[in-house]
Structure 1
Amino acid sequence: MKKIILILMLAFWCTNYMNAQEWGLDFDEAQKIAKDEDKHIILVFAGSDWCAPCIKLEKQILETEEFKESVKNDYVLIKADFPRKKKNQLPESLQNQNKKLAEKYNKSGGFPLVVVLDKNGKKMGETGYKNISPNSYLDILNKMIK
């Protein structure tokens, strides 16, 4: 009986984990998914190894199951990371993509910057780090698309 309960719990956990939205790195792929599924895009500009507010935003909001579960039906998630430490450097192709994205969507160079785009890449709005709950943060993002 214990084995059956354990298997059921594991199956439930795996199903929920697999349904949660994950962060992508390829903007073209994210835009294709957004078009195919009629979703908006959340594009996050971050400095994962040097920007304290970026790290807080990620831990307190973006990486929570609460946030990822809430956005999975309406958004495609993508990060444009700009690490500074040599050991954390991205492949050159991702660095080039992220620079182009920053030139288009983050002209001010602010970090973190969370940009909401429509499925065609049109900017709907932007915000930065806020010390609020994941659901309150999502409310801000959702207002940008209405």
Structure 2
Amino acid sequence: MKRIALILLIAIATVGASSAQEKKEAVHIYNPQANARADIDGAVAKAKKEGKHVFLQIGGNWCSWCIAFHKMVDNTPELKQFINDNYEVVLVNYSPENKNEAVLASLNYPQRFGFPVFVILDGNGKLLHTQNSAYLETDEKDANGKKKTGHSVKAVTDFLKNWTPKAVDPETYKQQKAK
């Protein structure tokens, strides 16, 4: 009996050890130790110099929607290129380790919309827009007719197109009116 118990104990320990090894590696998209204020200030300075705006993606490694959004951008070359051409991007962490409360307060508390939440700043650091990402979710259905989880590439692209420096420049519209 002792022998069977010992074999059973070893089997359980072996299964537990292999399960621990099979666990997914933690996601490290957001950096809880990052100095969000310094990162934003650097992005604003670079955006001003390059004629871009700043796109803040606020969320955390704990947030499945934040991770899904980040992967969607990485896996959509046209969207990724559009963002790189028009925005300086800063990922602002929100987690128990670092809620970046002072930074988020200076941005009028965008976390009120949940995560991820997107903030657009101009090249002077002026807040232009805060976007609740729920409005950018996909309407696509899976094979069973159930709504898919994730954001719509088209909705995200349209949103970002509306906040480029050209889109918010009054001269853009004065020129159109003259034609």
Q: Does 1:102 align with 2:104?
A: yes
What are the within-5 Å matches in structure 2 for residues 1-146 of structure 1?
26-48=39-61, 50-61=62-73, 64-84=76-96, 95=98, 98-105=100-107, 107-109=109-111, 110-127=114-131, 128-129=133-134, 130-131=137-138, 132-145=151-164, 146=168
Q: 1:104 to 1:63 in 2, by over 3 A?
A: farther
Identity of aligned residues (%): 29
- Offset of residue 136 of structure 1: 3.3
Give the aligned length: 112
Aligned-residue Cα RMSD (Å) equals 2.5
Q: Distance in 2 between matches of 1:106 and 1:52?
A: 24
Q: Give the conservation status (yes or no) of the 8 Å contact 1:42–1:114.
A: yes
Q: 1:35 to 1:59 in 2, by over 3 A?
A: same
Q: TM-score, normalised by structure 2?
A: 0.53
Moved more, 117-126 or 104-113: 104-113
Q: 1:57 to 1:43 in 2, by over 3 A?
A: same
Greater relative contact order structure (CA < 8 Å, 6+ sep): 1
Q: 1:62 to 1:99 in 2, by over 3 A?
A: farther
1:108-139 deviation per Cα after TM superposition (whole angstroms, max 9, x unaligned):
52211011111111122122152344343121
Give SS of 1:72's match: helix
- Offset of residue 105 of structure 1: 1.7
Q: 1:77 to 1:120 in 2, by over 3 A?
A: same
Structure 1 unmatched ranges of 5 or more: 1-23, 90-94
Q: Distance in 2 between matches of 1:103 and 1:63?
A: 32
Q: Which residue of 2 aligns with 1:14?
A: none
Q: TM-score, normalised by structure 1?
A: 0.63
